Amino acid sequence: MHIFEFIRPADQTAAIATAAQAKTAQQGADVRFLCGGTTLIDLMKLNVETPARVLDINRLPLDKIETTSDGGLKIGATVRNSDLANDERVQRDYAVLSQAILSGASGQIRNMATTAGNLLQRTRCVYFRDTAMACNKRETGTGCSAITGSNRTLAILGTSDHCIATNPSDMCVAMSALEAIIHVQGPKGTRAIPFGDFHLLPRDTPHRETVLEPGDLITHVTLPPPVTGSKQVYLKLRDRASYEFALASAAVVMNVDDGNVGYIRIALGGVGTKPWRSPEAEAALSGKAADAANFRQAAEAALRDAKPQSKNKFKIELAKRCLVHVLQTAANG
Amino acid sequence: MATIHVNDSSAFGVLEAGQAENSANQIAVPMALRINGKEHSLRIDPRTTLLDCIREAVALTGTKKGCDHGQCGACTVHVNGRRVLSCLSLALLHDGEEITTVEGLGTTEAMHPMQAAFLACDAYQCGYCTSGQIMSAVALLNEPCGPDDAAVKELMSGNICRCGAYANIVAAIQQVRKRA
């Protein structure tokens, strides 16, 4: 691990002012916010992340879950994943979020990992984690070892010739389906970023993973008021039953009225370079009968643009069946 | 014991990359860590993980280093009563907090019920993962967990046992839960 200066900012303003001196935004930056540490400390040990300054934001007052005036939920940036998943409001009104978080990592890691940290969680692509290998995300212009390498677990949606790294988060898949808003405070003020606009596709700049700018501090996430009567399901498929990243996962928030699909939101995990909302699948289902044939049609629509690599073609059918199963489970109520 | 004040970045003396590697004394910073109810006044390299601090600086070697990357659970300790992976945390993050290691649970003469149950159920073979398993299991008693073995297995999945003592580990945990 490279040496760094450890700073505990007195407040948000101090944290933002110091972070604003960074050359780039959070991920891979020379000034890094540190909270749970489950991604950052790991990557610092591997010399993948080498911040010169580490800002401990654990003690900033961003650890509350509060009901908003419109009946939604405000989730602080440093709320631990276990506290969020076990919050009774989340379990009652946003069950898909609770299910998604509890399907990820382990009890210890969920006790450490935070809301904002999970939003910024970095890929588990083995080539990204190994400084001996070429990786455009870690070191711009070096190439992508994964495209010609061991790519079984990597992405089939949203890839580019420069990067095929999977976004590993479960929480983000649920937040995508719930249309969460990410609230940021930066040197120029505050702004609210719709979930779908937060993560970036790799294109030819895979080192840029979000729209955050230097100094931007995620303060909280808001969830809109719960969708009345909705069925919410998250399913995660993986190589072992627990403590493993998704090969494919799906989150669904759905209302069925008189046998027809009403409100429908669909997002996929384990297959995309970012948390993968699927408006195509939603459009294919909206207003249609909630039956097996239409669920399959929606799954076909979700994966229509999938581009497999040499060792992960199986993910296309796996993701389709995952989504069909989730839709069926939600429809069965 | 005063805790460290880290608002003032100059307190740590900024070092250029490369300058630091062979100047451990220069970059060491003072901190206080409370482990098993005892205050420890330390000088540590800021990079020191909570795990290395517990083992090397405080010389409590019950907590084990397995993978050192958050994949095995051998380093599990409690911070303010909650289980965490000490290998993925910096010691500096924890001044003023209550750290509990396996040494703080019980003694050979007066074991914690979970330690006694591991013994009674033969819930280990080589023993290397055992302190992490026990720390996880004790924390699990205060977490939302369904009554059946499957729920226990799911919540214990972050603790790997290479000998494969899982069946007896689950039995030990269930024994304590049923008696509680």
Q: Which domains does chain B have, with CATH numbers?
A: 9-63+77-100 (3.10.20.30), 113-179 (1.10.150.120)
The yes-or-no verdict on residue A25 having pLDDT over 90 is no
Q: Looking at the complex, does the CB of residue B86 fall below 8 Å from at least one CB of chain A?
A: no
| The model's pTM | 0.94
Nearest to A219 by CA among A115, A121, A122: A115
User: What was the ipTM of the complex prediction?
Assistant: 0.96
Chain centroid to CA A142: how far? 26
Name every residue whose Cβ is closer than 8 Å to that of residue A240 and which is 6 or more positions away in sequence.
none
CB contact under 8 A, B7 and A9: yes
Rounded-to-integer distance, Cα A315 and Cα A306, Å: 9
Tell me whether residue A264 is in a domain: yes
Strand A248-257 and strand A231-237: the pairing is: antiparallel
Burial code of A166-199, b = ≥16 C-beta within 10 A, e = fewer? bbbbbbbbbbbbbbbbbbbbbeeeeeebebeebb
Lowest-pLDDT range, A196-200, A310-314, B6-10?
B6-10
Rounded-to-integer distance, Cα A292 and Cα A212, Å: 41
Tell me whether residue A239 is in a domain: yes
Q: Looking at the complex, does the CB of residue B93 fall below 8 Å from at least one CB of chain A?
A: yes
The yes-or-no verdict on residue A219 having pLDDT over 90 is yes
Rounded-to-integer distance, Cα A76 and Cα A56, Å: 16
Nearest-Cα distance to chain B for A66, in Å, is: 21
pLDDT-derived band at B101 (thresholds 50, 70, 90) equals: very high
Q: What is the mean pLDDT of residues A69-91?
A: 98
Q: What is the mean pLDDT of residues A242-270?
A: 98
Radius of gyration from C-alpha coordinates of chain A: 19
Nearest-Cα distance to chain A for B53, in Å, is: 15
Q: Report yes or no: B167 and B179 within 8 Å, Cβ to Cβ.
A: no
CATH of the domain at A47: 3.30.43.10
Q: Looking at the complex, does the CB of residue B133 fall below 8 Å from at least one CB of chain A?
A: no
pLDDT of residue B25: 55
What angle, 0 to 180 degrees and rounded to 10, lies between the N-to-C axes of helices A292-303 and A314-332? 140
- Chain B residues closer than 8 Å to A3 by CB: 15, 17, 19-21, 27, 46-47
Q: Report yes or no: B122 and B87 within 8 Å, Cβ to Cβ.
A: no
Rounded-to-integer distance, Cα A173 and Cα A179, Å: 10
Q: What is the mean pLDDT of residues B82-105?
A: 98
For residue B143, with 0-12 CB atoms within 10 Å meaning exposed, 13-18 middle and 19 or more buried, which class applies? Answer: middle
Rounded-to-integer distance, Cα B148 and Cα B153, Å: 9
pLDDT of residue B180: 79
Nearest to A205 by CA among A143, A126, A136: A136
Task: Centre a 10 Å sphere on the Cβ of residue A218 and count the other Cβ atoms it contains.
Answer: 28
Name every residue whose Cβ is closer than 8 Å to that of residue B154 and which is 6 or more positions away in sequence.
A241, A242
Q: What is the mean pLDDT of residues B122-132?
A: 98
**SS3 of residue B13 by DSSP:** coil
Q: What is the mean pLDDT of residues A74-101?
A: 98
Tell me whether residue A172 is in a domain: no
pLDDT of residue A283: 98
Tell me whether residue A241 is in a domain: yes
Residues shown for chain A? 333
**SS3 of residue B44 by DSSP:** strand
DSSP secondary structure code for residue B3 in this structure: P
CA distances from residue A207 to A49, A201, B154 in whole angstroms, order as listed: 12, 10, 34
Q: How many independent structural domains does chain A possess?
A: 2
pLDDT of residue A136: 98
A186's tokens: 């930066």
Tell me whether residue A275 is in a domain: yes
Of B7, B27, B49, the CB nearest to A10: B7
Tell me whether residue A198 is in a domain: no
Q: What is the mean pLDDT of residues B134-161?
A: 98
Q: Report yes or no: A184 and A193 within 8 Å, Cβ to Cβ.
A: yes
pLDDT-derived band at A333 (thresholds 50, 70, 90) equals: confident
The yes-or-no verdict on residue B177 having pLDDT over 60 is yes
Spatial strand order of the sheet with B29-35 comes to B38-44, B29-35, B98-100, B76-79, B82-85
DSSP code per residue over A14-75:
HHHHHHTTSSS-STT-SEEEESS-TTHHHHHHTTS---SEEEE-TTSS---EEE-TTS-EEE
The yes-or-no verdict on residue B26 having pLDDT over 80 is no
CATH of the domain at A320: 3.30.390.50
Q: What is the mean pLDDT of residues A58-70?
A: 98
pLDDT of residue A207: 96
Tell me whether residue A265 is in a domain: yes
Rounded-to-integer distance, Cα B142 and Cα A65, Å: 21
Q: What is the mean pLDDT of residues B98-119?
A: 97
Nearest to A152 by CA among A308, A32, A262: A308
Supply the mean pLDDT for chain A: 97
CB contact under 8 A, B89 and A112: yes
B68's tokens: 């050192």
Task: Provide the domain limits for residue A302.
Answer: 231-332
Tell me whether residue A176 is in a domain: no
- Identity of the amino acid at B121: C
Q: Report yes or no: A221 and A178 within 8 Å, Cβ to Cβ.
A: no
Interface of A with B (CB under 8 A): 1-10, 14, 18, 34, 36-38, 41-42, 45, 50, 52-54, 56, 58, 82, 86, 105-109, 111-112, 241-243
Q: What is the pLDDT of residues A117-164, one digit of tens each?
A: 999 999 999 999 999 999 999 999 999 999 999 999 999 999 999 999
CB contact under 8 A, B83 and A243: no
Rounded-to-integer distance, Cα A292 and Cα A284, Å: 13
Name every residue whose Cβ is closer than 8 Å to that of residue A303 and which is 6 or more positions away in sequence.
A156, A157, A271, A316, A319, A320
Lowest-pLDDT range, A3-7, B17-21, B159-163?
B17-21
pLDDT of residue A92: 97
**SS3 of residue A272 by DSSP:** strand
Supply the mean pLDDT for chain B: 89
Name every residue whose Cβ is closer than 8 Å to that of residue B28 and which is 6 or more positions away in sequence.
B43, B44, B45
